[in-house]
Structure 1
Amino acid sequence: MASKATRLLLCLSLVVVLLLVETATPHGQAHAIDCKGQCGYRCSKSGRPKMCLRACGTCCQRCGCVPPGTSGNEDVCPCYAHMTTHNGKHKCP
């Protein structure tokens, strides 16, 4: 039989693993957000709204967030701010 210390260590390890799994947000998908609505506002002043909505939607789905406002504020969502295209250009509007 396992000693009390071994069982305690096993329980603590399990708690830590569960906390890590719970707090890990792969591509931000742990939080359901309204990508369509947020991107609609984000792209409302864009000169190319369809392209903006498509890019923003992709970024929102991958990151789980859209910066507030129609431009800037990217420090609120670093994943969104750092995503690039295959050519190395800024992807998210």
Structure 2
Amino acid sequence: MATKLLSIFMLCVALILVLLEPNQGASTVETLAFQQQHQGDYQPYGTTQGSLRPQECAPRCTSRCSATAYKKPCLFFCQKCCAKCLCVPPGTYGNKQVCPCYNNWKTKRGGPKCP
């Protein structure tokens, strides 16, 4: 959701620049095309494996566990997973595919270990 808002914002800024400076329009359009091409390459900081420092786990996990009714176990396992994987998926639920280590760590019974 945040990446969609960011891309809409970038598109609006680029369009405003094109309209305000017609002499520079071609380079702005080329820049916009480059940004849209590589938009899929963008990974927010902290969501790719190994991109966090251990001291950054607590605030990320607090955010991740903010919507659950089971805060203590969520925070415990999230921080354990973050310490191992050094990443926390964005949002309060799902999105685990951006951090394979976090996603693939399983309990003894085969269920997901990380919230």
TM-score normalised by the chain length of structure 1: 0.65
Distance 1:91 1:55 in 2: 7
Counterpart among 84, 89, 110 of residue 67 in structure 1: 89
Instruction: Map Cα deviations across residues 31-79 of structure 1 (whole Å, 9 max, x no partner).
Output: 5151000000000011100000000000000001000000111111010
SS where residue 79 of structure 1 aligns?
Answer: helix
Task: Give the fraction of aligned pairs with identical amino acids, expressed as a percent.
Answer: 47
Counterpart among 45, 60, 70 of residue 38 in structure 1: 60
In structure 2, the partner of 1:51 is 73
Correspondence list, 1:15-26, <5 A? none
Q: Which runs of 5+ in 2 are unaligned?
A: 1-48
User: How many residue pairs were aligned?
Assistant: 66
* RMSD over aligned Cα atoms: 1.7
The amino acid of 1:68's aligned partner reads P
Instruction: Map Cα deviations across residues 2-44 of structure 1 (whole Å, 9 max, x no partner).
Output: xxxxxxxxxxxxxxxxxxxxxxxxx84x751510000000000
- Displaced runs of 4+ in structure 1, greater than 3 A? none
TM-score normalised by the chain length of structure 2: 0.53
Distance 2:53 2:64 in 1: 18
